[in-house]
Amino acid sequence: MASVALLAAAGEVGGDFFKERDVGSLCQAQTQHVFCFDWAKENIDRFGQPTVQHLQIVIPAILIGFVVAFALALISHRIRWLQPPLLAATGILYTIPSIAFFFLLLPVTGLGRDTAIIVLAAYTLQIIYRNTVLGLNNVPDSVKDAARGMGLTQRQILWKVELPLAIPEIIAGLRVAVVSTIAIATLAVLISAGGLGTQMYNANLTFPTSIIIAGAIVMLMALAFDAILLLVQRLTTPWRRATRA
Amino acid sequence: MSESQASSVRYDGATKRYRGSSEPAVDHLSLEVPAGEICVLVGPSGCGKTTAMRMVNRTVDIDEGDILIGESSVRERDAAQLRREIGYVIQQIGLFPHRTITQNIGAVPQLLGWDKDRIRARSAELLELIGLDPELGDRYPAQLSGGQQQRVGVARALAADPLVMLMDEPFGAIDPINRERLQNEFLRLQAEIRKTVLFVTHDIDEAIKMGDRIAVMREGGRVQQYATPAELLMAPANEFVEDFVGADRALKRLALMRVADINLWEAPLAHVGQATAEVRAKLDSPAVEVPFPLLVDSERRPLGWLSERDLAAENVPGRPDSPLGPVLELDDVMRDALADLLQHETQYAPVVDHERRIVGVLSVEIISEFLASPEAKTDEHSAAERPHG
């Protein structure tokens, strides 16, 4: 990691993330080994709490990000000229480096989970907003024209026609957002928000077992969320799989 | 469909101005469409026909004037409520891709709060009416062919038994063969349901085929002529209509008629074994215009034409000298009948009924006289007489 200097700098602010961690006697002789199974067996409990914390950051962040981005998308669907500025604004948020974003918010929201949630939610806005707008814009005009001509109100067209048809794009956006949020949440440790990052940054860099386990849990979590979203998409868009008989 | 209902539509100085355009798209249009008839709005692109049609369900706002459905003004209605009483079919069909065919057909009934069973029953009824397998009800639109989708589009528009149907180039995106089939199917359906239909097209042939009445429009929705197809073809009101209808309008008229619609000549009949003197006497009668006798069997079914040589004998021979040539039926479309005559290089053809019994003779002369006669101008063109598939 090239972030050692940054971590050191952060240490002055955050304080506690370089605390001594005990490698134990199990793999003392073999710290150069990539993975120490004995240690892993002995210490697997260490990962329970950070995993829960990770979820406690990731889930609210995604929910908040989704609600905000979705609301913005609906507003700008009605008020079209809002789309370019909103796209730009969420895009700018997305370009802020995550570490900078965390530390910039520290004076405002302080150390801890809230700051992490705010930053991660902000990152999801761009992709969820953009995909929701895209999905709504992709609904064929003929379908909207027919809906209107049959007597659906604007609201009914939105909820019964446009949004259901935008589901694939919306979920595609959510999937990208979820995976990146789960990954970036490992940085929450920098502002003392806990999570699986603790098991990476507190590690003795010459003993990667803990990092590997934490990394694997992060990846599994991302895959699990992705699978859930994929399942939701399949259940909500049966027409996408219908092929000519 | 016995409960089928329909209302007249009356444009009363209806006007639409689009912002940024100096001329109104539709300028004080006044037009009355009787209940149960198909009125085709036809004209070149940009003439305002689609705008005029869309004013009826207020998907285009009326700036001035009014449109009455039956006795009630569309301007006084809530737009969404109004539209649920008006069937709407568009060229791109616009089926909901995420709904099954049954759900698509049930869209308006659902808005009207029908219960599930009633919607299902209605969908099944309409699928049958438009000639689709009821099993298709559970499919999604993407699983149907273009023609099937357009039929579903029509069924969806009919679902809540609308007072009026708006059809905007409904068959415009369909290939020519299927278009013809869909047109015929719709006419057959219309003969049953008798809706008031406003039908927009830029294709004069389609207008002539589909319309009980045709409004030929030019820019600003200005109606150049509002008449039955026969009137339009026989007596175009001005040069614009004449140009639009085309140079072959006389021939187009024939597509509107069936052999049964015209006065046929009486055939001088001859039976096998009959004395030729009798037959010759028949030919001399002033009422008989066909110069050759037609040999028929005992059931009055035509067998062939008798020639001079046949008549030289004492009795009518069993085998006529001239072949029978084309035999026409009363239901044949006049245009096809003429084509038949020309193709066989013959002047006359016997016309038979469903039992193949002789009812008269059609000649090229009858057709050309008909096309030239002023009486043809008042020829009534009714839906029932139009060529169906």
CATH of residue B312's domain is: 3.10.580.10
| Residue A76 · residue A136 · CB < 8 Å | no
Q: Domain limits at A183? A: 48-238
Q: How high is the pLDDT of residue A129?
A: 97
The DSSP letter of residue A241 is T
Contact of A74 with chain B, judged by CB distance below 8 Å, is answered with no
- What's the whole-number mean pLDDT along residues A126-139? 96
Chain B nearest-CA distance from A16, in A, is 53
Separation between Cα atoms, residue B9 and residue B352, nearest integer Å:
41
**How many structural domains does chain A have?**
1
Helix or strand or coil: residue A169? helix
Cα B126 to chain centroid distance, Å, stands at 21
Q: Where are the alpha helices (DSSP H) in chain A?
A: 4-14, 37-43, 48-78, 83-95, 98-109, 113-137, 141-149, 154-156, 163-184, 198-201, 209-236
Judge whether B56 lies within some domain.
yes
Q: Are residues B152 and B291 in the same domain?
A: no
- Choose the weakest-confidence range: A4-18, A111-125, A210-224, B49-63: A4-18
Q: Smallest Cβ distance to A145: which of B90, B99, B111?
A: B90
Q: Are residues B214 and B289 in the same domain?
A: no
CATH of residue B231's domain is: 3.40.50.300
Give the residue, B283 or B126, on which the prediction is more confident.
B126
Q: Are residues B182 and B328 in the same domain?
A: no
Judge whether A215 lies within some domain.
yes
Judge whether B4 lies within some domain.
no
Which residues of chain A make contact with B157, given a CB cutoff of 8 A?
Answer: 150
* Residue A37 confidence (pLDDT) above 90: no
* Residue B90 confidence (pLDDT) above 80: yes
Which residues of chain B make contact with A239, given a CB cutoff of 8 A?
Answer: 97-99, 140, 142
Separation between Cα atoms, residue B140 and residue B156, nearest integer Å:
14
- What's the whole-number mean pLDDT along residues A181-191? 90
To the nearest whole number, what is the mean pLDDT of chain A? Answer: 84
The DSSP letter of residue B168 is E
Whether this model's pTM surpasses 0.80: no
Q: Are residues B243 and B264 in the same domain?
A: no
CATH of residue A167's domain is: 1.10.3720.10
Chain B nearest-CA distance from A38, in A, is 53
- The secondary structure of B92-126 as a DSSP string is T----TTS-HHHHHTHHHHHTT--HHHHHHHHHHH
Separation between Cα atoms, residue B342 and residue B264, nearest integer Å:
18
If we measure between CA atoms, which residue out of B194, B165, B5, B159 comes closest to residue B87? B165
- What's the whole-number mean pLDDT along residues A181-186? 92
Among chain B residues, the shortest Cα distance to A239 is held by B98
* Residue B269 confidence (pLDDT) above 50: yes
- What's the whole-number mean pLDDT along residues B81-99? 95
CB contact under 8 A, A145 and B98: no
Separation between Cα atoms, residue A154 and residue A79, nearest integer Å:
13
Q: Are residues B70 and B158 in the same domain?
A: yes
Q: What's the pLDDT tens digit per position in B275-333?
A: 888 888 888 877 778 888 888 888 889 888 888 888 888 888 888 777 788 899 988 88
Judge whether A16 lies within some domain.
no
Give the residue, B286 or A57, on which the prediction is more confident.
A57
Structural element, H or E, at residue B250: helix B249-255
If we measure between CA atoms, which residue out of B39, B70, B66 comes closest to residue B165? B39
Q: Are residues B230 and B289 in the same domain?
A: no
Among chain A residues, the shortest Cα distance to B82 is held by A151
Judge whether A27 lies within some domain.
no
| Residue B267 · residue B350 · CB < 8 Å | yes
Q: How high is the pLDDT of residue B31?
A: 95
CB contact under 8 A, B142 and A152: no
Q: What's the pLDDT tens digit per position in A142-169?
A: 999 999 999 999 999 999 999 999 999 9
Q: How high is the pLDDT of residue A9?
A: 39
Q: Are residues B156 and B92 in the same domain?
A: yes
Judge whether A30 lies within some domain.
no
Cα A72 to chain centroid distance, Å, stands at 19
Cα B252 to chain centroid distance, Å, stands at 12
- What's the whole-number mean pLDDT along residues B78-88? 95
CB contact under 8 A, A147 and B94: yes
- Choose the weakest-confidence range: A6-10, A170-174, B369-373: A6-10
CB contact under 8 A, B92 and A150: no
The DSSP letter of residue A175 is H
- What's the whole-number mean pLDDT along residues B237-252? 83
Residue ending a domain, choose from B223, B248, B273: B248
Q: How high is the pLDDT of residue B268?
A: 86
If we measure between CA atoms, which residue out of A32, A10, A25, A86 comes closest to residue A207? A32
Chain A nearest-CA distance from B97, in A, is 7
To the nearest whole number, what is the mean pLDDT of chain B? Answer: 87
Separation between Cα atoms, residue A135 and residue A164, nearest integer Å:
9
Spatial CB neighbours of A60, under 8 Å, sequence gap ≥ 6: A117, A121
| Residue B70 · residue B88 · CB < 8 Å | no
* Residue A49 confidence (pLDDT) above 90: no
Cα A113 to chain centroid distance, Å, stands at 14
Chain A nearest-CA distance from B219, in A, is 24
Q: Smallest Cβ distance to A151: which of B80, B93, B143?
A: B80
Interface pTM, i.e. ipTM:
0.79
Judge whether B348 lies within some domain.
yes
Separation between Cα atoms, residue B121 and residue A108, nearest integer Å:
62
Q: How high is the pLDDT of residue A41?
A: 79
Separation between Cα atoms, residue A215 and residue A219, nearest integer Å:
6
If we measure between CA atoms, which residue out of A85, A105, A104, A97 comes closest to residue A123? A97
* Residue B110 confidence (pLDDT) above 50: yes
CB pairs under 8 A between A and B: 77
Q: Are residues B230 and B301 in the same domain?
A: no
The model's confidence at residue A5, banded by pLDDT at 50, 70 and 90, is: very low
- Choose the weakest-confidence range: A76-80, B137-141, B248-252: B248-252
Q: How high is the pLDDT of residue B281?
A: 84
Contact of A215 with chain B, judged by CB distance below 8 Å, is answered with no
Q: How high is the pLDDT of residue B275?
A: 84
Spatial CB neighbours of A26, under 8 Å, sequence gap ≥ 6: A36, A38, A39, A42
Percent of chain A, pLDDT > 90? Answer: 56
Q: What's the pLDDT tens digit per position in B149-161?
A: 999 999 999 999 9
Contact of B181 with chain A, judged by CB distance below 8 Å, is answered with no
- What's the whole-number mean pLDDT along residues B219-223? 92
CB contact under 8 A, B57 and A149: yes
Judge whether B3 lies within some domain.
no
Which residues of chain A make contact with B153, given a CB cutoff of 8 A?
Answer: 146
Q: Smallest Cβ distance to B84: which of A150, A238, A244?
A: A150
Q: Domain limits at B78? A: 9-248
**How many structural domains does chain B have?**
2
Judge whether A24 lies within some domain.
no
Q: Are residues B228 and B316 in the same domain?
A: no
Separation between Cα atoms, residue B207 and residue B204, nearest integer Å:
5
Among chain B residues, the shortest Cα distance to A240 is held by B98
Contact of B114 with chain A, judged by CB distance below 8 Å, is answered with no
The model's confidence at residue B57, banded by pLDDT at 50, 70 and 90, is: very high
Give the residue, A153 or B270, on which the prediction is more confident.
A153
Q: Smallest Cβ distance to B143: which of A146, A161, A245?
A: A245
